[in-house]
Structure 1
Amino acid sequence: MTDELLVVRCQLGEREAFAELVGIWNDPVWTYVRRMIGSSQADDVAQEVWLAVVRGLPRLKEPGRFAPWLFTIARRTVANRLREEYGRHEVLAEEEQATADPADALVDRTELLAGLSELPVREREILVLFYLEDLSLEDCAEICAIPVGTVKSRLSRARRMLRDHLTEKGHRR
């Protein structure tokens, strides 16, 4: 079943359709949130995202554009949380550390995640959306409210920064 059909069914009040939508998109949303702010806050922020989805779903005019709409909400929710943290002048320990899964024993993956966590938020966000969430350049541009050219330049800069980090840690290109 397509996202578009599930969204329309949700807008008609079918609870089962919403449960299916959450089942499909909860992991990608949680992963995006975790990669942006760290795992200690991912559950709370992901819940905030789904609450915003429940509130906004009846007003979604283009059900076929659900994924970009969903990640736009996730992006805003993450940005709000980061603003709260920065407003209190607290630096999150998880922002400075690798966000590797404990089950992952591979050093390369840990280094990659550590490098990703050290990127500036704008570059990290584009890498996560494009490579890890597998969204198109156009969808990334829509979610971030920037031109496609800016997405391309941020991707290029982010790849270079990540490559430099990995090279610095002794990994070959």
Structure 2
Amino acid sequence: MAAVRAGERGAMRALAARYLPLVYTVVGRAAEPGLDVDGIVRETMAGLVAGVPTLREPTRLRAWVVTIAVRHLADARRQRPTPGDRRTDPAAVGGLVLLRQALTREQREVAEATRWLDPPYRDLLSLWWLEVGGHLSRFDVAAAVALPVPHVAVRVQRMREQLDTARRVVGVLRGRPACDDLPALVAGWDGQPDPLWRKRIGRHLRGCHGCAERVGGRLVPPERLLAGLPPLVPPDLAAAHGAPGATTAVPQAPATSRWPATG
């Protein structure tokens, strides 16, 4: 940090290279289709370069960086034109950072389920994911979501409950329907993950014996599935900031089934 404050260019490049994977992972895992992940990352890194020389508490640099990233995410969501413009080609969803790794089936299901969460819980899951992997502390997470450390545990528990519902929604939508009522319920759905439809389908799952049986049973705790996944760095941003490494090739996202209405 002393070299950075002294204005040494090499030191700043090294610092940017160190934090780029963290920033890209926070943003990429939380962003929904339609958000410019690379643009948000660039804005965050620009803020890092501009602000770090004047940072009063260098020991809080990591918490400060992830806080900036989450704020830029929130700004990007507010600046989106209209909810109706969020629709994307399903094939393009494979470009999401969440799916740029070689994942197991269960890991991919969790990754797909995150797209159904409320945006604040997507942000929290992205941060908690890095905490589970040892890349962030609970203090860092609390700073990024602007909550006291003791309150974060409550928010994480609520996020996990919503994630469990989303995982069951993803499970019941894959393949053929488990009951005659579900196709009619989703007849007006546009096929895009959506928190409102998570609630509607989740209510159906809680009241439908057939669907509950299909997606019943204990889910593997997400921390067991997510802990070993490393942070990511896109090749173009890595080259721009002098950071080593690159992401793997982008696979296609698993398609969520949608059935025609019966009757």
**Normalised-by-shorter TM-score class:** 0.7 to 0.9
Confirm or deny: 8 A CA contact 2:139 2:149 kept in the other structure: yes
Distance in 2 between the 1:105 and 1:67 partners? Answer: 27
Confirm or deny: 8 A CA contact 1:35 1:117 kept in the other structure: no
Deviation string, structure 1 residues 41-95 (Cα, Å, up to 9, x no partner): 211111111111122122200111110011111111111111101x54432549x
Identity of aligned residues (%): 27
1:28 aligns with 2:26: no
Confirm or deny: 8 A CA contact 1:29 1:74 kept in the other structure: yes
1:81 aligns with 2:58: no
Q: Which runs of structure 2 are paired with 1:1-173 in the superposition (5 Å)? A: 7-38=1-32, 41-85=36-80, 87-89=81-83, 90-91=85-86, 93=88, 99=96, 100-102=98-100, 104=102, 106-133=104-131, 134-168=135-169, 169=171, 170=215, 172-173=218-219
TM-score between the two structures when normalised by the length of structure 1: 0.82
Helix, strand or coil for the counterpart of 2:115? helix
Structure 2 residue ranges without an equivalent (≥5): 172-214, 220-263
Structure 1 residue ranges without an equivalent (≥5): 1-6
When residues 154 and 144 of structure 1 are mapped into structure 2, their CA distance, relative to the original with a 3 A threshold, is: same
Deviation string, structure 1 residues 116-168 (Cα, Å, up to 9, x no partner): 12111222222211222542222212222122233111100111121233244
More helix by share: 1
Confirm or deny: 8 A CA contact 1:8 1:63 kept in the other structure: no
Q: Which amino acid aligns with 2:46?
A: L
When residues 139 and 74 of structure 1 are mapped into structure 2, their CA distance, relative to the original with a 3 A threshold, is: same
Confirm or deny: 8 A CA contact 1:34 1:41 kept in the other structure: no
Q: Which amino acid aligns with 2:2?
A: V
CA RMSD of aligned residues (A): 2.4
Q: Which amino acid aligns with 1:66?
A: L
Partner of 2:255: none
Aligned length: 164
Q: Which amino acid aligns with 2:13?
A: A
Q: Which amino acid aligns with 1:151?
A: V
Q: Which amino acid aligns with 1:36?
A: A
When residues 110 and 8 of structure 1 are mapped into structure 2, their CA distance, relative to the original with a 3 A threshold, is: same
Confirm or deny: 8 A CA contact 1:129 1:135 kept in the other structure: yes
